[in-house]
Amino acid sequence: MCIELMLNSVNLLLVAFSKMQAAKDAAVTVAGTDGQLFVFFIMVVAAAEVSVGLAIIVMMYRNIHSVDINFLNRLKH
Amino acid sequence: MSITQILFWILTVAALLSAIMVVSSKNPVHSVLWLVATFFAISGHYILLNAQFLAVVNIIVYAGAIMVLFLFVIMLMNLNKSAEPIKNRWLQIVGIVSGGCLLLVLVAALKNTEVAKNIAEVNTGDAGLIKTLGKELFTTFVVPFEISSILFLSAMVGAVVIGKKD
């Protein structure tokens, strides 16, 4: 969830910067759209990441009945 | 103080407060609900910046889909006090120190910056409207768009394969 929070802060910054760029060169009609589309792609990647990550957490909980990642040190032995 | 400024400050305070509550609340369900509040505040910011498409997508995708997924998973595995993992004390100290270092670097980097000459104007510009964004998305950015669809498909298949009962 903290990852979502950080991604959202970056999204807000990108939208603000795209507005700055659009205000700077107002003659170009598409100025600033690339920043907002980048935000859109960040949302896409976040959705994919969340689905896979939650599937991994559910699988882990089913196997060891806990969400403590300190149990996952089997590769060490 | 105009109405836009008042709205901006209200939204900023709401976003920061609920973001702090996300990190600091003990119950994960409360944390998710505060995160939904944060997303609504950020969507309000998008509307103030005249990025209506992103505001709507933010509410639908984040507050609608991803947060429901989070809630389902958290309620699926009933986390209670006894199942709470024992946190390492040194890990907490190291986390505090590294976070403080990051804050120090950011403050030091931003201290000497002059106020930008370009201001993000509110309520102007049509860069965030669906028409312009859609035209750009399906002409200039059509290849990343298709690649992201493949990414979605692979994430879907991966989630099903991982979550399947073996």
Of residues B40 and B86, more confidently modeled = B40
Chain B residues in contact with A38 by the CB 8 A cut-off are none
CA-based nearest distance A15→chain B, Å:
8
Say whether residue B5 is in contact with chain A using an 8 A CB cutoff.
no
pLDDT tens-digit series, residues B64-123: 888 888 888 888 877 665 556 666 788 889 999 999 999 999 999 888 777 666 566 666
Structure tokens at A13: 């910054």
Instruction: With a cut of 70, say whether residue A54 has pLDDT above it.
Output: yes
* Assigned token pair, B1: 């103080």
Contact in structure between B32 and B71 (CB atoms under 8 Å):
yes
Choose the most confident range, by mean pLDDT, from A64-68, B8-12, B69-73. B8-12
Residue A43 pLDDT: 86
Q: Which helix (H) or strand (E) holds B55?
A: helix B52-57
For residue B129, the model assigns a pLDDT of: 76
Q: Give the per-residue pLDDT at B153.
A: 93
Q: Give the C-alpha distances (Å, rounded to integers) separating B137 from A49, A65, A70, B104, B131.
A: 22, 44, 43, 39, 10
Distance of CA B15 to the CA centre of its chain: 10
Contact B34, B18 (CB under 8 A): yes
Q: Which of B105, B132, B83 has the alpha carbon at shortest distance from A68? A: B83
Task: With cut-offs at 50, 70 and 90, classify the pLDDT of residue B13.
Answer: very high
In the predicted structure, residue A8 carries a pLDDT above the cut 70: yes
Instruction: Report the gap between the CA of A76 and the closest CA in chain B (Å).
Output: 19
- Percentage of chain B beyond pLDDT 90 is 19
CB contact under 8 A, A61 and B77: yes
CB A44 within 8 Å of CB B141: no
**Which of A8-17, A67-76, B30-39, B134-143 shows the highest mean pLDDT?**
B30-39
For chain A, the structural domain boundaries read 2-69
Quote the minimal CA–CA distance from B138 to chain A in Å. 11
C-alpha pair distances (Å), B142 with each of A44, A49, B42, B145, B146: 14, 22, 27, 5, 6
The complex scores an ipTM of 0.77
Residues contacting residue B124 through CB under 8 Å, at least 6 positions apart: A23, B50
Cα(B14)–Cα(B75) distance, integer angstroms: 26
Cα B153-B54-B33 angle, rounded to 5 deg = 80
| Residue B17 confidence class, pLDDT cut points 50, 70, 90 | very high
